[in-house]
Amino acid sequence: MTMDEKKGFRLYDTLTRRKKPFEPIETGKVRMYVCGPTVYSDPHIGNFRTFTAGDILRRWLDYRGYDVFHVMNITDIDDKTIRDSGEEGVSLEEFTERYTKSFLRGLDLMNIKRATTYPKATDYAPRMVEFVKELLDKGVAYVASDGVYFNIDKFPEYGKLSGVDTSKVEKTDRMTEDEYDKETVNDFALWKTSTPEELERGIYYESPWGKGRPGWHIECSVMTRSLCGDTLDIHAGGEDLIFPHHENEIAQSESLTGKEFVRNWVHVRFLMINGRKMSKSLGNYVTFDEVLSKYSADAFRYFFLSVHYRRPLDYTDAAMGIAQNSAARLENTLDLIDDTLRKEDRYYDFKETEKALLEAVKEHRGQFEAAMDDDLDTHSALDALHALSGAINEYLAGDVNKGVLLRAAKAYRELLSVLGLFEKRGAGVDDLTEDLIETIAQVRERLRTEKNFQLSDKIREDLERVGVVLSDTAEGTSWKIARR
């Protein structure tokens, strides 16, 4: 067994249609490319299912000790960006810059780890010209009046990823569009001759075939090769990219290099909205900001994690309500831990209950790891976290040895962080903030004993406004930092 195999991570591969032991080309290093957004509109919540799944994969590789080189491209030139910027009457650059920012803002709000780099397609145009030239030299592409096309008959393995059978579809014409379905399998565009509108707007690059611009599929083949080399360990994206986008990437890249293009293909299922596919025409289009105005980002993340990334997931208010409550239960344990750690130290024993807590930590960490190693089974990983949360809550109900609690809390936070949950709340507040809140709470306590409820209530409300929630219990007043 190799070092990587010993790590035990198994990942489903779309091409071979099975879970494979994950083994990168270079021991300990992973080159991973996730197809990023086409920046022609604000990202919708379906996009975030894919981005969150990519983030979980990245975080699991980090946890398993890999050095991950993570690339996500920005498609800032294609049919849609050119069309919509033209309709709006703004330059392609200004238009795509706006939606690139909107995309990055969404990543930050969802606490998605930044990739190592976000290459823009337009920055790689000269290399795309070179790539197309090489395909022509190899005889797998040809020049037509409106551009350069890839001849799919020259790549006998065409269809191996999507299962499309080229012998059963009638090849009638060349495909000029970037996007099409399996019924219209045809030679696809590598390079598109500029239209009069594109020439007028200055959207073109010089090439041996005249002024033009790259097709969508060649963009990823060129950026993956430039940044990650001939073979990627992981190439991921939404399931809608399997055909034609990824099928065409394979044809281009493998024809050029003669090497395997991707070791593991990872595809994330669509997000449904109330049982239907999301589309503007059905009127069920849910924006990202709409979700975050009703639910926390952690609840939204929890919702994605509650179902395996290759299984169907349906966005409904009921499902979001359940996710919100379940996330709150996990977070409540963090509140209880913070609260207990602020209390006086008066118990230092190591008895059966302490032993039981540390054993529970070990057991549930083991369950969590086994679940994640099994093709990122986040549903079962959450079960393990709920079990650990329950064990910690139970321990907190009795005498607490802070040393033991800190060990359990560290493990709990670490596993939550693998799923990207509650990271923004950090590990509590700093000492100065804590002392300030304590001081204010004591002043308020004094006012209450003097029956000055008007002022004590005002202090409670003012604190709540800045995110500090006080609760009065039989044992006194406790507080927590409430986040959105």
Q: Is the peptide bond before 244 cis (omega within 30 degrees of 0)?
A: yes
Q: Return the range that interacts with Zn ion (CB under 5 A); candidates 155-163, 217-225, 255-263, 398-406.
A: 217-225
Q: Return the range that interacts with Zn ion (CB under 5 A); candidates 23-31, 166-174, 215-223, 474-482.
A: 215-223
* CB burial string 439-465: b at 16+ within 10 A, e below: ebbeebeebbeeeeeeebeebbeebee
Of 151 and 252, CB closest to Zn ion: 252
Of 220 and 336, CB closest to Zn ion: 220
Of 35 and 337, CB closest to Zn ion: 35
User: What is the C-alpha to C-alpha distance for residues 99 and 42, in angstroms, rounded to an integer?
Assistant: 6
User: What is the C-alpha to C-alpha distance for residues 429 and 122, in angstroms, rounded to an integer?
Assistant: 44
CB of 54 to Zn ion, least distance (A): 12
Of 245 and 425, CB closest to Zn ion: 245
HSE-up of residue 133 (Cα within 13 Å, Cβ side): 11
Tokens of 52: 């969150």
CB of 248 to Zn ion, least distance (A): 9
Q: How far is CA 408 from CA 27, 185, 234, 339, 341, in A?
A: 32, 56, 34, 15, 12
Q: Which residues contact 467 (CB under 8 A, 6 or more apart)?
A: 481, 482, 483
Q: In what order do the strands lie in the sheet with 141-144?
A: 141-144, 147-150, 188-193, 212-214
Of 236 and 299, CB closest to Zn ion: 236
Q: In what order do the strands lie in the sheet with 276-277?
A: 276-277, 271-273, 313-315
From candidates 220, 262, 266, 305, binder to Zn ion by CB under 5 A: 220
Site string for Zn ion, 16-55 (x = CB under 5 A): -------------------x--------------------
Within positions 445 to 464, which residues make up the interface with Zn ion, using CB under 5 A? none
Q: Return the range that interacts with Zn ion (CB under 5 A); candidates 213-221, 346-354, 367-375, 462-470.
A: 213-221
User: What is the C-alpha to C-alpha distance for residues 107 and 479, in angstroms, rounded to an integer?
Assistant: 30
418 backbone dihedrals φ, ψ, rounded to 5°? -60, -30
CB of 76 to Zn ion, least distance (A): 13
Of 221 and 296, CB closest to Zn ion: 221
Q: Is 334 in the site for Zn ion (CB under 5 A)?
A: no
In this structure, what DSSP letter does residue 2 have? -
Q: Return the range that interacts with Zn ion (CB under 5 A); candidates 107-115, 125-133, 219-227, 471-479.
A: 219-227
Of 251 and 360, CB closest to Zn ion: 251
CB of 217 to Zn ion, least distance (A): 7
Query: Would you tell me which residues interact with Zn ion (CB under 5 A)?
Result: 35, 220
